[in-house]
């Protein structure tokens, strides 16, 4: 019966060495041992049997150790992958929840922005309406001011004209008074002259 048992060096080099399983006559026909060549007898070559038996045991132990390590690592990898999958699932659910929250926050912010925009537009319309009303009031006040100014100018002009007319009338009256006085004086002088003439005749 031929088997392949790699030793530690062969395992590191990726090679395999041939070993043979032979019957151990010292322990009975059913017992099997590792031997370096077919037909090797334990009694004929005790040192060879001991060496290859120990090498085979080491090789088997190393092989099973490596297998156990691989199984443990694979199991660890499976556990880690399962844990990672669970973590990724939780993270994905968390991401979905976070995205949902972000979407809700974004929708709320957009609604608030629309509300603020609507309020701003309403305030702008109110301000424009108030500005229009203020403009109308200012224009009306300007018109009334212009009318008041015109009335004041007319009143001043009328007052100046009245004063000029009054002064002209006073001057004319004074001139008439002086003319009457002069005539009166002339009449009185003529009367005296006539009286003097009458007395002399």
Q: Tens digits of per-residue pLDDT, 174-194?
A: 998 888 889 888 888 888 888
Q: Does some domain include residue 127? A: no
Q: Does some domain include residue 155? A: no
Q: Please write down the HEC assignment for all residues of 130-178.
A: HHHHHHHHHHHHHHHHHHHHHHHHHHHHHHHHHHHHHHHHHHHHHHHHH
What backbone phi and psi angles, to 5 degrees, belong to 35?
-140, 155
Q: Does some domain include residue 194? A: no
Q: Does some domain include residue 133? A: no
Tens-place pLDDT, residues 121-169 = 999 999 999 999 999 999 999 999 999 999 999 999 999 999 999 889 8
Q: Does some domain include residue 142? A: no
Query: Model's pTM, two decimal places?
Result: 0.33
Tens-place pLDDT, residues 59-93 = 666 666 666 666 655 665 666 666 677 767 766 66
d(CA 76, CA 156): 112
Question: Domains in the chain: how many in total?
Answer: 1
Between strands 18-24 and 28-35, the pairing is antiparallel
Report which of residues 74 and 101 the model is more confident about: 101
């Amino acid at each position: 019966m031929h088997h392949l048992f790699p030793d530690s060096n062969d395992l590191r080099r990726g090679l395999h060495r041939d070993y043979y399983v032979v019957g151990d006559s010292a322990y009975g026909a059913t017992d099997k041992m590792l031997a370096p060549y077919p037909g090797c007898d334990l009694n004929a070559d005790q040192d060879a049997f001991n060496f290859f038996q120990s090498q085979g045991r080491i090789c088997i132990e190393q092989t099973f150790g490596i297998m156990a390590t691989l199984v443990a690592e694979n199991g660890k990898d499976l556990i880690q992958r399962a844990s990672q999958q669970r973590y990724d699932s939780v993270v994905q659910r968390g991401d979905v929840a976070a995205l949902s929250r972000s979407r809700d926050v974004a929708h709320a912010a957009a609604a608030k922005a629309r509300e603020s925009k609507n309020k701003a537009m309403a305030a702008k319309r109110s301000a424009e309406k108030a500005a229009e009303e203020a403009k109308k009031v200012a224009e009306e006040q300007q018109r009334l001011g212009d009318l008041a100014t015109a009335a004041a100018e007319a009143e001043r002009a009328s007052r100046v004209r009245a004063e000029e007319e009054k002064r002209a009338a006073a001057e004319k009256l004074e001139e008439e008074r002086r003319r009457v006085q002069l005539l009166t004086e002339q009449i009185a002088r003529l009367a005296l002259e006539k009286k003097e003439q009458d007395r002399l005749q």
